[in-house]
Amino acid sequence: MEQSRDLSSVDLADLGAEVVLGNTYHLMLRPGAEVVRNHGGLAAFTGWDGLTLTDSGGYQIFSLQPKVDDQGAMFRSTYDGSTHVLTPQGAAEVQADLGADVQMVLDVCPALPAPEKVLCAAVERTAEWAARGRGAFLGHPDAAARQSQFGIVQGGTDTALRVESAERTLEVDFDGYAVGGLSVGETRDQMLEPLAAVTELLPTDQPRYFMGLGDPAGLVEVVAAGIDMFDCVLPTRHARHGGVLTSPGV
């Protein structure tokens, strides 16, 4: 899955990109979801003749240390300082306006390492938000007819919490499933053990998406663990700074 600010749609197609990811946080603030909707949705707006996916905006919002409660997250725009609130229902509605083929449910992504109580709280809130986000998606006038919605498994590096989160996410019955909150600084062993426990539970006939992984060795390992898709800014970030991924390194 490709993320790029500096390549045209033609360039991405030539590189063999299959899916382009749009960042909901940035798109909802500038130019705005309504503008994208009025231009025919994300693919038409960007001139991309292929599949599209939007994240929920949660990862960027949580990096801003917002005020979070059971209802959602209150944060300030990095563009003009204006205050916004994003709820699970709101994230589903904004992404319906953006019109990508796949939208992600709003989740809680704790930084690692984190105390067990923080991870437990993230799993609990992620499960509650998953149900609310799914309800909003299915109740939207046309989102469910033209989009798919993926749930997200959290739990940090705690295998038991990962299993709990996976089971609770499966109960909501999404169209696909993602693993979030890994590849954020933990060791490879700390990443792979809980990942293996999760992929054993996730359906094999639905997409399984590892969020935020882009190093070549890691891609091989997670594919071997049963992951179908992944995204990361790493390759294009290196490219913007003149770096190239090679067998010996960057």
**How would DSSP label each residue in the chain?**
-B--SS--HHHHHHTT--EEEE-HHHHHHTT-HHHHHHTTSHHHHHT--SEEEE--SHHHHHHT--EE-SS-EEEE-TTT--EEEE-HHHHHHHHHHHT-SEEE-------SS--HHHHHHHHHHHHHHHHHHHHHHHHSSSHHHH-EEEEEE--TT-HHHHHHHHHHHHHH--SEEEE-S-SSS--HHHHHHHHHHHHTTS-TTS-EEEET---HHHHHHHHHTT--EEE-SHHHHHHHTT---BTTB-
Residue 1 lies in a domain: no
Please state which of the ranges 11-15, 34-38, 57-61, 139-143 shows the lowest mean pLDDT: 57-61
Residue 4 lies in a domain: no
Enzyme catalytic residues: 55, 231
Residue 224 lies in a domain: yes
Q: Say how many Å lie between the first and final Cα of the chain, rounded.
A: 20
Q: Distance (Å, rounded) from C-alpha 99 to C-alpha 93?
A: 10
Please state which of the ranges 90-94, 112-116, 191-195, 242-246 shows the lowest mean pLDDT: 242-246
Instruction: Indicate whether 82 pLDDT > 60.
Output: yes
Q: How many domains does the chain have?
A: 1
Instruction: Indicate whether 2 pLDDT > 80.
Output: no
Mean pLDDT calculated for residue range 111-138: 97
| Omega within 30 of 0 (cis) for the link into 66 | no
Residue 247 lies in a domain: no
Residue 218 lies in a domain: yes
CATH number where 35 lies = 3.20.20.105
Residue 187 lies in a domain: yes
Domain that holds residue 62: 9-234
Q: What is the pLDDT of residues 174-189, one digit of tens each?
A: 999 999 999 998 999 9
Give the chain's mean pLDDT: 94
Instruction: Indicate whether 4 pLDDT > 70.
Output: no
Token pair of 39 as six digits: 């231009």
Residue found under tokens 């944060």: 75
Residue 101 lies in a domain: yes
Residue 27 lies in a domain: yes
Binning pLDDT at 50, 70 and 90, where does residue 3 land? Answer: low
Q: How many residues does the chain have?
A: 250
Contact criterion met (CB below 8 Å) for 76 and 91 = no
Global model pTM greater than 0.85: yes
Instruction: Indicate whether 6 pLDDT > 80.
Output: no
Instruction: Indicate whether 222 pLDDT > 80.
Output: yes
Mean pLDDT calculated for residue range 29-44: 97
| Torsions phi, psi for 163 (to 5 deg) | -65, -45
